[in-house]
């Protein structure tokens, strides 16, 4: 009977060892800040045009309210203010119940931030970056090659977005993302007098890496890993 279970035990042992090694690698990566190098590469604009865009394309992200949706919309409104002649195109799936009287929350946020509703266009049929690029091409079929597009999205989504739009036939594409700004205030702290765990509290309180950076980097690792997988998939499909 034991012989029957030996292969299963070996497979389970190998799996647990691999998971442990992966877990350790993730922590080392987070502690050393490695995900930020990949994050920077993903957010780098691979070339582009000079001058003002004709269309500011806002990739919808997680919608409103969400971190990605709010930050992208905030940046798109800034770009709309910088380039007042550019139209703003919201690429976001049409929500249930959405109509002329009940505008999409992303569009409402743009209007709240000073973008005139008359400047706003909408693409609501695409369900991913590839489909959105193709749908936007159809909207401007015949003139898409001369249009200058400014893509507004999250940093980790920038490279895939730009490459997808170029693959769809747009020749003049560049990107703009929202870069995170670190808190500059002093967040270190010390223990209170008489605290029996004062030594441990001081060690943790004085280390921003333990309190914040490792956890932020672990979350970033998930985001860049997902995006690298998406880039590989798009490449295999011939979409970029």
Asked whether residue 1 carries a pLDDT value surpassing 60, the answer given is: no
Task: Please give the mean pLDDT across all residues of the chain.
Answer: 84
**Which SS3 state, helix, strand or coil, does residue 148 take?**
strand
Residue 161 burial (CB count, 10 A): 24
| CA separation, residue 53 to residues 72, 82, 144, 197 (Å) | 17, 10, 13, 58
Q: How does residue 78 score in pLDDT terms, banded at 50, 70 and 90?
A: very high
Whether the per-residue pLDDT at 7 is higher than 80: the answer is no
Which residue(s) pair with 148 in the sheet?
172
Cα 6 from chain centroid (whole Å): 45
- Smallest CA-to-CA distance from 56 within 100, 77, 29, 87 is with 87
Q: What is the pLDDT averaged over residues 44-53? A: 82
| Gap between the Cα atoms of 240 and 238, Å rounded | 6
What would the pLDDT profile of 106-139 be if each residue is shown by its tens digit? Answer: 999 999 999 999 999 999 899 999 999 999 999 9
The pTM for the full model equals 0.81
pLDDT band per the 50, 70, 90 thresholds, residue 13:
confident
Which tokens go with 70? 């709010």
The confidence score (pLDDT) of residue 183 equals 57
Q: Is the pLDDT of residue 200 over 60?
A: no
Could you tell me which residue, 97 or 75, shows the higher pLDDT? 75
């Amino acid at each position: 009977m034991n012989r029957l279970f030996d292969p299963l035990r070996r497979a389970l042992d190998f799996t647990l060892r691999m998971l442990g090694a992966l877990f350790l690698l993730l922590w080392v990566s987070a502690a050393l800040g490695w995900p930020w190098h990949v994050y920077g590469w993903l957010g780098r604009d691979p070339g582009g045009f000079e001058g003002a865009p004709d269309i500011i394309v806002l990739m919808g992200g997680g919608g409103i309210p969400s971190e990605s949706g709010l930050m992208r919309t905030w940046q798109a409104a800034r770009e709309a203010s910088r380039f007042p002649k550019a139209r703003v195109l919201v690429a976001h799936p049409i929500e249930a119940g959405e109509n002329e009287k009940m505008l999409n929350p992303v569009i409402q946020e743009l209007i709240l931030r000073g973008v005139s509703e008359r400047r706003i266009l909408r693409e609501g049929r695409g369900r991913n970056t590839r489909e959105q690029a193709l749908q936007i091409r159809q909207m401007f079929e015949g003139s898409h090659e001369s249009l200058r597009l400014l893509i507004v999205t999250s940093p980790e989504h920038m490279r895939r977005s730009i490459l997808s739009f170029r693959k769809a036939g747009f020749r003049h594409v560049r990107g703009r993302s929202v870069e995170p700004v670190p808190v500059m205030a002093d967040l270190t702290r010390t223990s209170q007098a008489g605290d029996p765990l004062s030594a441990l509290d001081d060690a943790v309180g004085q280390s921003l890496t333990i309190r914040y950076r490792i956890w932020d980097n672990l979350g970033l690792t998930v985001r860049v890993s997902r995006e690298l997988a998406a880039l590989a998939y798009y490449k295999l499909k011939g979409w970029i």
